[in-house]
Chains A and B, each alone.
Chain A
Amino acid sequence: MSLPCRVSLLPLAALTLLAACGRETRDFSNRMMDSPHRGAKFSGNAWRISNGARLFVWMNCAGCHSHGGGGIGPPLMDAKWRYGSSMADVAYTILNGRPGGMPAFRGKITEDQAWELAAYVRSMSARTRRDALSGRADEPANVEPLPLEKRRRARAVTPEQDAAQKESSKIEGTGP
């Protein structure tokens, strides 16, 4: 490879690194509590999503919602959201419960943990940036980890819907 070519690759590499930054950032500041960008900080962040995945099992969410397909509670991997699909909506549902039977987890988890859970929950229906998702599932091996493409396909009924969802998942992570 010629030297000019290598030089021209440098900005590209820098860009790639920058893009990965948000995904891997760990933000410990308290100020983000009231930030309008709170949703984005959680939903596009690999560490937050991973924490959410662990909490999802620890707090027995999986007992009702399985790993997204539902059971006692509704599925989380499809495109239907009874109480809204935004980060704020999902975090609110987790903390305060809903009258149809969703219990309130306020007092059992912190607010940050609720937002981490929300980030993970939304990732089940591919509503998050793909590069922030864990490549493997934490569940026992009887569950095949679902690749993102498959998750999106599972909830898309028509090719048009599929394309639309693909488009919408690109712009996810831009706020609550």
Chain B
Amino acid sequence: MKSIWPVSVLMILLAALVGLGAAVLATTYPAPHATFSDRPVVYGALPAPQDRARLASWAQPSPDGQWTWQLGDSAASRFSPLDDINARNVAQLKPVFTFETGLKRGHEAGPLVVGDTMYVTTPYPNDVYALDLTRPGAPVKWKYHPQSQKAAQGVACCDVVNRGAVYGAGRLYFNTLDGQTIALDAATGHEVWKAKLAEISKGETITMAPLLAEGRVLVGTSGGEMGVRGSLAALDAASGKLVWRAYSTGPDKDVLIGPEFRPFYKQDQGKDLGVSTWNPEGWKIGGGNPWGWVSYDPELHLIFYGTGNPGPWNPDQRPGDNKWTAGVFARDVRTGQARWFYQTSPHDLFDYDDINESLLLDIPTRQGLRKVVARPARSGFFQIIDRMSGQVLSAKPFAYINSMKGVDLTSGRPIMNPDKEPKEGRTTRNICPAAPGGKDWNPVSFSPRTGLVYIAHNNLCMDEGDVDTNYIAGTPYLGTEARMYPGPGGNRGVFTAWDPVAGRKVWEIREDLPLWSGTLATAGDVVFYGTMDGWFKAIDARTGRLLWRTKLVSGIIGMPMTYKGPDGRQYVAIFAGVGGWSGAIVSGALDPGDPTTALGFVNAMKDLVKRTDAGGRLYVFALPR
């Protein structure tokens, strides 16, 4: 049969289509390595003193110059009242000693300092070291090497990281990748107790730093990429016995939802929503792992933490809101009973885990100070949520977002952009932010002196293609293939100084690489952070001006901390040890020839191999005597 279309016409049409496609691609993929510099871009003035956010009234950041918890205090401020190192003298910082872990994987934890001892935790195999700060070079006092299952490395989604320990009453508590929580005698390094909360055969791991509150050690599971049903457990700090365990999916009795549960929004009210908002049985392998940070309000006896992404990533396989994943819980720390819940990303489409830290702030309003939870969410919105009721007071974008158009404050639900909704069997292009979100796990800091939150975060977008996937215990449960690339502007990272009261940027620094380090704010009005090519930087807390920087042996994805040494001097410490999800191309020696490598992150990080090496070295800096 002869076609009614001459071949030549078809060819012209085809050429036009190809041309159109090229034009679309050209507009949606910004060129990498565009403009970025150390000079901050200023958006406005600092808030006036009366308009500034305050740290929760009970919070005592870094008492006696010690650092006993990764986030500084249970309000998650990462603020230190030490001010010997300040904006005027920070440029004189010099390394005092270093410590090698001998490991070449991602070092995300920060050290702790209690009295005259520094405690260091490492990525898998999760060794713990105590360093004697009274002697030159800080020699090792003791080392603890946990017995653990090597195969745990095969179910850890994003490098074999660990986010550190917590100290309380003479003991050190930390988690191992293969799912143990271990209590050590801080003086001797002897094991006090061990508990097992995860099974690697089911894909469960633990990477988070536990929090200590009211004699309970709070531990959350990891495994959102493995179909792990997430849970937060409270262990008795004295014995290691399980006090309560709250699942993130399933019937109310498993989620510890009872008569005290009073969620603010209608869609969160009802019986067994953790079952009815899923496909049949889907909740059993539904994710919601609380692998991030827990905060604690001792006055309200409440803890606050976020739940991770639902599983699988492919949203078509799990119709419904998928409660209680990708949201934030407030619970009574004594009983575990849920008080309220807010779902940041109902029926999550983009791996927007909601595990980021919950800063506990007091915010001035016309009615006086209001107790809030301030959360820089993966979705890219900076949420201000009433600490008592769970009502969202504001949600303003701190990162570039096109996947959601905003948050409806009446219903609490995000307003989705239908153009960016992934569907099985097709590829959705240019979704911003990408799967690691506007900001991932790396914690912010808050300075009550400026009222600003200092956010080290990402500017990445992605293509997402979805396919039907099978659940096989202990293997990935994704159904999504992504590839990431720089967001608008071409800079992959942003350091943002954010006014949480007004909900606006005050200034930002556009960084070439994604920012995967925590930030640290001090009373010396200096803020510290690191870059993935190994620059450790100190900037002015008010203006963002670069005050000092030094290049370390490996890229920085750790959490900077500061302490007062036994000699009374102020020190600053940071790990150099690139890795994690963002640095897996280096720490895991991955191949960038495949754009989907490491869930698509490697596609945005091809140049990292040339810019830094794998390593594991702790640096401690101080001013010259």
Interface residues of A (CB under 8 A from B): 57-60, 62-64, 66-75, 77-78, 80, 97, 99-103, 108, 139-144, 146, 150-151, 154-155
Contacts and interface: CB of A to CB of B under 8 A. Distances in A.
Contact of A103 (B463, B474, B598): B474
B101 interface: no
Given A69-B602, A139-B481, A141-B427, A64 B154 contact: yes
Contacts of A78: 591
B475 A146 contact: no
B240 interface: no
B591 A102 contact: no
B154 A140 contact: no
A146 B593 contact: yes
A60 B594 CA distance: 17
Nearest to A75: B591
A68 B152 CA distance: 21
A74 B463 CA distance: 23
Given A142-B464, A143-B483, A68 B591 contact: yes
A108 B472 CA distance: 9
Contacts of A143: 465, 481, 483, 594-596
Contact of B594 (A57, A68, A72, A73): A68
18 contacts: A58-B470, A59-B475, A60-B472, A62-B476, A63-B225, A63-B477, A64-B476, A66-B597, A68-B594, A69-B597, A99-B151, A100-B153, A101-B150, A101-B154, A141-B465, A142-B463, A142-B464, A142-B595
Contacts of A101: 150-155
B590 interface: yes
B456 interface: no
Given A71-B588, A139-B465, A59 B470 contact: yes
A171 B218 CA distance: 58
Nearest to B226: A63
B595 A140 contact: no
Contacts of A59: 470, 472, 475
A74 B597 contact: no
B154 A73 contact: yes
Contacts of A146: 593-594
Most chain B Cβ neighbours within 10 Å, of A70, A75, A97, A140 = A140
Interface residues on B, range: 35 or more
A60 B599 contact: no
Which of B481, B483, B593, B594 has the most chain A CB atoms closer than 10 A to its own CB?
B594
Given A140-B465, A142-B483, A69 B596 contact: yes
A75 B593 CA distance: 10
Contact of B481 (A62, A68, A155): A62
B239 interface: no
Contacts of A57: 467
B266 interface: no
A142 B157 CA distance: 21
A66 B596 contact: yes
Contacts of A154: 591, 593
A77 to B, nearest CB: 5
A70 B585 CA distance: 9
Given A60-B470, A139-B467, A142-B465, 12 more contacts: A60-B469, A63-B225, A64-B154, A66-B594, A66-B596, A72-B476, A75-B590, A139-B596, A140-B467, A142-B429, A142-B481, A154-B591
A63 B225 CA distance: 8
Interface in B472-515: 472, 474-478, 481-483
B154 A102 contact: yes
Contacts of A155: 591, 593
A57 B467 CA distance: 9
A18 B109 CA distance: 61
A115 B152 CA distance: 26
Nearest to B151: A101
A53 to B, nearest CB: 13
Contacts of B474: 103
B406 interface: no
Contact of B475 (A64, A67, A142, A150): A64
B592 interface: yes
B401 interface: no
A28 to B, nearest CB: 26
Counting chain B CB atoms within 10 Å of each CB, which of A67, A69, A74, A150 scores highest? A69
A1 B552 CA distance: 72
Interface string B425-441: 11101000000000000
Contacts of B469: 60
B156 interface: yes
Interface string B443-476: 0000000000000000000011111011010111
A70 B475 contact: no
A67 B154 contact: no
Closest 8 CB pairs of A and B: A101-B154, A63-B476, A140-B465, A69-B597, A69-B594, A154-B593, A75-B591, A60-B475
B589 A75 contact: yes
Interface string B586-616: 0011111111111100100000000000000
A22 B591 CA distance: 32
Given A59-B470, A77-B591, A151-B593, A70 B598 contact: yes
A155 B594 CA distance: 11
Interface in B351-387: none
Interface string B141-161: 000000000111111110000
B584 interface: yes
Contacts of B483: 142-143
Contact of B427 (A63, A67, A102, A140): A140
Contacts of B584: 71
A142 B472 contact: no
A2 to B, nearest CB: 32
A143 B476 CA distance: 19
B475 A69 contact: no
Contact of A77 (B154, B589, B593): B593
Contacts of A63: 225, 475-478
